[in-house]
Amino acid sequence: MDIPEPQPPTSSSARTPGLALLVVGILLTFVAVAAITGLIARQSTRESAQSTATVATLQKDVESLRGQVRNLMADSDRTAVLPLAERVYFPVRTNGGTLLMAVAGVEEVGNGLRVHLSIGNPHSMTYKGFTLSFVWDKGKGTGVFADVLAPGTWTVVTVMLSPADPAGTKSLTITSASVDEIPVR
């Protein structure tokens, strides 16, 4: 049997540098983990603030778009695009009820067009006088009419589009219509 050779005893001062290095390593690791955790927390806070600002901006945009859609829906029946080549009518809401509008005919005149509009009154009341605002590809205009719109009838009025190119002008857009008076019988 072999007897191991005796080893010289190690002193506690010889073990201290290794233990000190181990403690320093652990402390450095702890400091590094704490620093990284702090950076991540700071980054998360910054990202959270940016996300909150982005969400607030998006919410504001959505509300704005909702308002625009409501306005478009409210105004959609106040306007009509009347094709010059077709005889089809469209409803247009006024301050006194809905009127029906269609192109009855078109004539070339100098550097413009004379458009005859049929205005239908589907109601049982009479309208006295009305105003139409309109646009076309080269301009805009307003027509003020003293005509009486009798119940259940069509009335033809004329508007001038000048300047207008007969080949290029395909439609007339009624942008608003209002009646002046609803006489009591």
Contact 127, 96 (CB under 8 A): yes
Overall size of the chain counted in residues: 185
From first to last of its 185 residues, the chain has per-residue pLDDT tens of 566 665 555 555 555 666 777 778 888 888 888 888 888 888 877 777 787 888 788 788 777 767 666 655 555 567 899 999 999 999 999 999 999 999 999 999 999 999 999 999 999 999 999 999 999 999 999 999 999 999 999 999 999 999 998 889 999 999 999 999 999 87
Q: Would you put residue 129 in left (φ > 0), alpha (ψ -120 to 50) or beta? A: left
- Say what the pLDDT of residue 136 is: 95
Contacts of 28 (CB under 8 A, 6+ apart): none
CA neighbours closer than 13 Å in the CB half-sphere of residue 61: 6
Contact 184, 115 (CB under 8 A): no
pLDDT digits (tens, 9 = 90+) for 127-171: 999 999 999 999 999 999 999 999 999 999 999 999 998 889 999
Look at the domain 80-181 and name its fold.
Immunoglobulin-like (2.60.40)
Sketch the domain layout of the chain as residue ranges.
Answer: 13-76, 80-181
Contact 149, 119 (CB under 8 A): yes
